Amino acid sequence: MGSANGLDASELFEGQALLYMNMFGFLQTMSLKWAMQQGIADIIYNHGKPITFTELVTTLQIPPAKTSLVKRLMRFLGHNGIFAIAGEEEEDHEAYDLTPASKLLISKAAHAGRSDPCLAPIIRMSADPLLINKFHQLGEFLSGDVETLYEVAYGKPVGGFLKDNPEYQSIFNEAMASDSQLVHLALKNCSSVFEGLDTLVDVGGGTGTTARSICEAFPKLKIVVYDLPQVVGNLSGSNNLSFVGGDMFKSIPEADAVLLKWVLHDGQMKFAYKF
């Protein structure tokens, strides 16, 4: 027999499971943040082989009363593909290994001088409480006239917010730079894209991580990274790389081609960066 809302028992439970899965979706972000803050990827990497549950809680100095919670979190992260679970799950013999995702959390310090990409900074930014908070204002933003979510939540657009909060400007710049580290992998097969170009302007190019990769791959190409003065003001270039500060809504330096990466993804971004 159907319930009052016309659902049979299996539909009810499926609906409930789906709702709860979405309701607890934030736990994916929070457990990832925990693993990153604890440096678990570095711990496993330095260990040189899968680390057992007992070894992990000992290394993390988890109080005995809370070790079972760590096991739950590690299994949750394993279920989500962040770590691989090896060994037997009974008797505390379970062990954790790195996956492609957690290898991208290994810090530069653990890699000791190698230049492997590390995406921890962009996770740090995305999981920051202040920056997450703005999403509580989605309703107010979408039903009101204010142009950006930042303005609803913090009283100013993202550019102004970052200018007034230099610590977030650094978090933001590092996050963007970490995302851009992966670009050089894509460049290997892209030479045709840059053929015939002498100059390129990377508009909203941040601190120049993408531009540096392109400069290395195409040393004859001259690249200008154009971004807000607060972002590029203190940066100096090299042979074929230079930094220019300015506002892209007023003008941009002349070049054979323009690169826009993570800039103007949609109409909202135009307003988002207005001061």
Ligand X SMILES: C[S@@+](CC[C@H](N)C(=O)[O-])C[C@H]1O[C@@H](n2cnc3c(N)ncnc32)[C@H](O)[C@@H]1O
Q: Which residue is nearest to ligand X (CB)?
A: 204
Q: Which residues inside 200-229 make contact with ligand X, applying CB under 6 A?
A: 204-206, 210, 227-228
Position 42 contacts ligand X (CB under 6 A): no
Least CB distance from residue 215 to ligand X, whole Å?
15
- 13, 24, 135, 249: which one binds ligand X (CB under 6 A): 249
Task: Compare residues 94 and 174 and give the one whose CB is closer to ligand X.
Answer: 174
Task: Compare residues 178 and 240 and give the one whose CB is closer to ligand X.
Answer: 178
Residue whose C-alpha is closest to residue 39's, from 141, 109, 93? 109
Residue whose C-alpha is closest to residue 119's, from 41, 20, 220? 41
Instruction: Report the C-alpha dihedral over residues 7, 13, 14, 19, rounded to 10 degrees.
Output: 100
3-state secondary structure of 259: strand
Residue 81, CA distances (Å) to 8, 92, 96, 192 in order: 33, 20, 11, 35
Is-catalytic flag, 93? no
Task: Compare residues 26 and 249 and give the one whose CB is closer to ligand X.
Answer: 249
Buried b (16+ CB within 10 A) or exposed e, 248-260: beeebeebeeebe
The one-letter code for the residue type at 36 is: M
Query: Taking contact as CB under 6 A, which single stretch among the options 69-77, 99-107, 117-125, 257-265 is the one that binds ligand X?
Result: 257-265
Binding mask 97-116 for ligand X (x = CB under 6 A): --------------------
Backbone dihedral region of 118: left (phi > 0), alpha (psi from -120 to 50 degrees) or beta?
Answer: beta
Binding mask 134-173 for ligand X (x = CB under 6 A): -------------------------x--------------
Least CB distance from residue 107 to ligand X, whole Å?
20
Tokens matching residue 103:
């290898």
- Catalytic (active-site) positions: 265
Give me the residues that bind ligand X (CB under 6 A), please.
Answer: 159, 176, 179-180, 204-206, 210, 227-228, 231, 247-249, 261-263, 273
